[in-house]
Amino acid sequence: MEQSNSSGVSEFVLLGLSQVKEVEFILFLIFVLFYSLILPGNILIILTIWMDHQLDSPMYFFLASLAFLDICYSSVIPPKMLADFVSQHKIISYGGCMCQLFFLHFLGAGEMFLLIAMAYDRYVAICRPLQYMYLVNRTMCCILVGASWTGGFVHAIILVTMTHQLSFCGPNILDNFFCDVHQVIRLACTDTHRVEVLTFINNGLVILTAFILLLISYAILLIKLGTSVSHGRSKASSTCVTHIIVVFVMFTPAIYLYTRPSEPLPLDKVVAVFHTVIFPLLNPVIYTMRNKEIKSSMKKLIKRYSLLATE
């Protein structure tokens, strides 16, 4: 992505999470340890669902898609953040900044739309079980996942196009560890009121609307299950509760960051760390730890390949 002709800024300076080298080193070790534990776990989830035919159902197909999206999402910000922890100069080019904005919102919005698709899957499974195989077949699953990626792309390209058209002539210092859209917009030399309004509509309002719709839909499903006498009621309720936990984990920091005025607050960096680094990799783990079938399949897969490795 080329630098705008109207912009005099070719790079941005990131202040990072801390200016104290000792603190940065400790944070570096913590995040490296976190990634060395959680990232392989997400890859194992995908491999388990892919290789175990007993998990060949729409729910697990969506879970594998979520794990893949989370891995991609967690590869946007952390590599640069970890490199900056051990670097003297925390600088990102203008093009690199725009790329960060695009992929962060592309993959983040894709996850949001995928959670809506997963809510649709649970709705059909609980409210229209006799039509489930027809309404949520493999073709429909692929369409829903494809629509999630497409929706994320449209959301991100609108956001980045509006930001890219602004003029930047200095200062170029971002008090953050990545290029956050609100902070970048605040550095523009031109009037940004229109862009801020459109950004709120395209970002904050969409996030808040999706969050409310998901909570309403799962509340309806839990009420439906509460009045049901079906054999699988307990399992279905547990699955819905897991989905609600992930919705809160994903949406709470996003609502804090993008549905309020753009003035900085003391907790912004802390919330941003959880939003861009910690929570994405934990989402599939939350599903897995509350699901007996996938935990059993993972143990079998690990045991099988452990035996092969010892032969």
| In the predicted structure, residue 309 carries a pLDDT above the cut 80 | no
Q: Is residue 2 part of a domain?
A: no
Number of domains present in the structure of the chain: 1
Which pTM does this prediction carry?
A: 0.90
pLDDT computed for residue 231 by the predictor:
62
How far is Cα 41 from Cα 35, in angstroms, rounded to an integer? 9
- Residues 6 or more apart whose Cβ sits within 8 Å of residue 86: 24, 25, 28
To the nearest whole number, what is the mean pLDDT of the chain?
87
Which CATH number do you get for residue 186?
1.20.1070.10
In order of 128, 179, 180, 269, 274, the CA distances from 277 in angstroms are 37, 14, 14, 11, 6
Q: Is residue 49 part of a domain?
A: yes
**pLDDT bracket for residue 237 (50, 70, 90):** confident
pLDDT computed for residue 235 by the predictor:
79
Q: Is residue 46 part of a domain?
A: yes
Q: Is residue 1 part of a domain?
A: no
Start-to-end CA distance of the chain, whole Å, equals 51
Comparing CA positions, the residue from 277, 283, 282 lying closest to residue 77 is: 277
pLDDT computed for residue 311 by the predictor:
60
**pLDDT bracket for residue 1 (50, 70, 90):** very low
Chain length of the chain: 311
How far is Cα 220 from Cα 129, in angstroms, rounded to an integer? 16
How much is the average pLDDT of 144-158? 96
User: Which amino acid would we find at residue 279?
Assistant: F
Q: Is residue 118 part of a domain?
A: yes
User: Can you read off the two tokens belonging to residue 81?
Assistant: 């953040």
Range of the domain at 88: 11-306
Chain CA centroid to CA 264, Å: 22
Q: Is residue 288 part of a domain?
A: yes
Q: Is residue 168 part of a domain?
A: yes
In the chain, pLDDT over 90 holds for what percent of residues?
Answer: 44
Q: Is residue 311 part of a domain?
A: no
